[in-house]
Amino acid sequence: MVKTDAFATTKAGKLQGVCIDGVYRFLGVHYAETTAGENRFMPPQPLIPWEGVRPALEYVAKCWQTDTPRMEDKEITTTKYFVNQQRLMVGSSEMGTGRQTEDCLALNIWSKGLRDGKKRPVMVWFHGGGNIAGAAEADWHDGYNLALKQDVVVVTIGHRLGIFGYMYLCSFSEKYKNSANLGHQDMVAALKWINENIEEFGGDPGNITLFGQSGGGGKVAALMAMPSAKGLFQKAIIQSGGHMASPPEDGTMYAKQLLDFLNIDTDNVDELLKIPPEDLIEASREINRSRTLGTYFQSPVINDGEVIKYDPFDGAEGSEMSKNIRLISGYTKDDAMLQALFNPVYFSYTFDELPEKIVERGYSEENAKKLIEIYKKLLGSECTACDVYSSLLNDESHLMRTKQRYESRAKVGAVPMFSYVFCFESPDEDMKAIHGVDVPFFFDNAIYAPGLWNADTRVGAMKVSEDAAAAWAAFARTGDPSNPAMPVWKPYDEENKYTMLIDVESKLVTHYREEALEIILASKK
């Protein structure tokens, strides 16, 4: 490894990074001032210029955060299914280290060039974690391989989460009237920084692609329809992500719960500034424990009047705003096995009781039986009742979402949208291509995720890793994910519903699981 110093000059001041084997790396680059003290629960504040050189040599600690209610349920996390999933994730630091801070508004950059006049595509990553957890630092989404092999500039972004990013105080004080969706306001501040400074790092501010998985995919979706983000990027990739947002009244209710828990009157919200961050996290944790599994204490608020005004795929305003953003939308083949992971009873379902379970989801007995037969045919003779049930959950969510996204965009004459399903399976027969296993592959970092392959599948895993990264980079470069390693990737359309199945041997298919989708759509009207 050859490692040398590297220097870059931004609008606010000079940074010291490193060059490692031909890739420049700058870590922990602040794009806004600290959110501690008086800046807590306030919009991101512009950087104050500095003299001299600031080191950008290590990741900044992640935002203070707590786990979801599900992750804190010992009855779940001690099951063999959860333990197996954690084994598969060996090598990942998706949630970062244990370090936490309120000074978390920082980003990380990887590029093959500095001030070399070359305008490289810029790929900006938003981590998962449902807006309440996660980190910009990770083995899985380290940008080195993408930058080196694909000659793109990679940026990963940290921002406020949970109680610090989505505490809705607008209803209680004029001072906090702009406190809605602070985490998303942070993202916009980061994108503005990128637009102003990325040329210094060899990037093209006119060719920026956002990509993110799970909650990160939801962030990308929200940014597509946020007025403050308009023009700050040109393309988007949503990996297993939905647009998550609550109405303002829910945000007000959750904030009131916290204030009551801390014995703070709604007329004295400033008292929140005096409470140590770890105590706020503990309060949030206690409130989460009292809520129903699967619900979050804090989440983005839609129709807040300022930040997130529209859903990008529901309604004319959001669709119109995002129509010129080229889009890739997809998910993992067994995404919904995550739901089985958090509801282990699914693994015990039998085919005898499965019709009743499907009827409970709003289907007729006749359609329940039809769906079981369809999925048995699709999944093969060795499939289990859990396989069938989780496939239905998957298609109810992601497959239906793909169709809805296309239709909303088609109504406004949007630019092309590409659809995919990530099919490479982990070695664990219960987990398969579960939610999240795709992340290291799209960064060409599968080598850092040994739990996702074994001796028999290693070669195939490395191929998928290279191919998937090449597709994302091609899309970032041209707006078309087609590349020499895959078949020609045609845009999704109403007539053919083209979908790329990404695997060792990827293939473009038409009408993916359409027979099941028709029954789902008819039953969900």
pLDDT in tens, 332-389: 999 999 999 889 999 999 999 999 999 999 999 999 999 999 999 999 999 999 999 9
15 Cβ contact partners less than 8 Å away, ≥ 6 residues apart: 7, 8, 9, 26, 29, 53, 54, 55, 56
Task: Using only the alpha carbons of the chain, give its radius of gyration.
Answer: 23
In a domain, 472, yes or no: no
Q: Rounded CA gap, 75 and 135, in Å?
A: 26
Q: What is the CATH number of the domain that holds 318?
A: 3.40.50.1820
φ, ψ at 123 (rounded to 5°)? -115, 120
User: How many domains does one find in the chain?
Assistant: 1
Q: Is the pLDDT of residue 295 over 50?
A: no
In a domain, 413, yes or no: no
CA distances (Å), 201 to each of 7, 238, 372, 430, in order?
10, 25, 53, 43
Q: Rounded CA gap, 216 and 212, in Å?
A: 4
In a domain, 374, yes or no: no
The answer for 109, left when phi > 0, alpha when psi is -120 to 50, beta otherwise, is beta
104 is written with which tokens? 């978390």
Q: Rounded CA gap, 283 and 150, in Å?
A: 45
In a domain, 504, yes or no: no
Kindly state the helix (H) or strand (E) to which residue 288 belongs, with its residue range.
helix 277-289
322 Cβ contact partners less than 8 Å away, ≥ 6 residues apart: 224, 225, 236, 312, 409, 414
* Per-residue pLDDT, 372: 98
Picking from 269-278, 282-291, 317-326, 337-346, which range would have the lowest pLDDT averaged per residue? 282-291
Strand partners, 17: 6
Q: How confident is the model at residue 96 (pLDDT cuts 50, 70, 90)?
A: low
Q: Rounded CA gap, 482 and 503, in Å?
A: 15
Which domain covers residue 82, as residue numbers? 3-328
Q: Find tokens 């936490």 and name the residue.
A: 100
CA distances (Å), 240 to each of 62, 357, 401, 417, 434, in order?
23, 24, 10, 15, 10
Q: Find tokens 């800046």 and name the residue.
A: 39
Q: What is the dihedral of CA 427, 428, 429, 430, to 10 degrees?
A: -150
Q: Alpha helix locations (H) across 380-496?
A: 385-394, 400-410, 439-442, 458-478
Active site residues: 214
In a domain, 518, yes or no: no
Residue-wise pLDDT tens digits, 116-137? 999 999 999 999 988 988 999 8
φ, ψ at 332 (rounded to 5°)? -90, 150
Is there a contact between 440 and 446 (Cβ–Cβ < 8 Å)? yes
Burial class (CB in 10 A: 0-12, 13-18, 19+), 509: middle
Q: Find tokens 């804190």 and name the residue.
A: 72
In a domain, 361, yes or no: no
Q: Rounded CA gap, 508 and 418, in Å?
A: 11
Stretch 10-23: mean pLDDT, rounded? 97
Q: Is the pLDDT of residue 443 over 60?
A: yes
Q: Are strands 53-55 and 120-126 parallel, antiparallel or unpaired?
A: unpaired
* Per-residue pLDDT, 360: 96
Residue-wise pLDDT tens digits, 29-65? 999 999 999 999 999 999 999 999 999 999 999 999 8
In a domain, 447, yes or no: no
199 Cβ contact partners less than 8 Å away, ≥ 6 residues apart: 119, 205
CA distances (Å), 356 to each of 352, 367, 388, 438, 523, in order?
8, 11, 13, 32, 15
Report how far apart the first and last C-alpha atoms of the chain are (Å, whole number): 58
Q: Rounded CA gap, 375 and 394, in Å?
A: 12
**Higher pLDDT pick, 316 / 42:** 42
Strand partners, 108: 156
Strand partners, 110: 25, 154
Stretch 101-121: mean pLDDT, rounded? 96
Q: Rounded CA gap, 330 and 438, in Å?
A: 11
* Per-residue pLDDT, 92: 55
Is there a contact between 499 and 403 (Cβ–Cβ < 8 Å)? no
Nearest to 333 by CA among 392, 387, 394: 394
In a domain, 509, yes or no: no
**Secondary structure of residue 316 in the 3-state scheme:** helix
Is there a contact between 138 and 273 (Cβ–Cβ < 8 Å)? no
Q: Are strands 120-126 and 153-157 parallel, antiparallel or unpaired?
A: parallel
Is there a contact between 87 and 50 (Cβ–Cβ < 8 Å)? no
- The 8-class DSSP code of residue 512 comes to T
In this structure, the chain runs to a length of 525
- What is the SS3 string spanning 226-256? CHHHCCCCCEEEEECCCCCCECHHHHHHHHH
Q: How confident is the model at residue 171 (pLDDT cuts 50, 70, 90)?
A: very high
φ, ψ at 335 (rounded to 5°)? -50, -45
Stretch 164-179: mean pLDDT, rounded? 93
20 is written with which tokens? 């490692």
Q: Rounded CA gap, 476 and 125, in Å?
A: 12
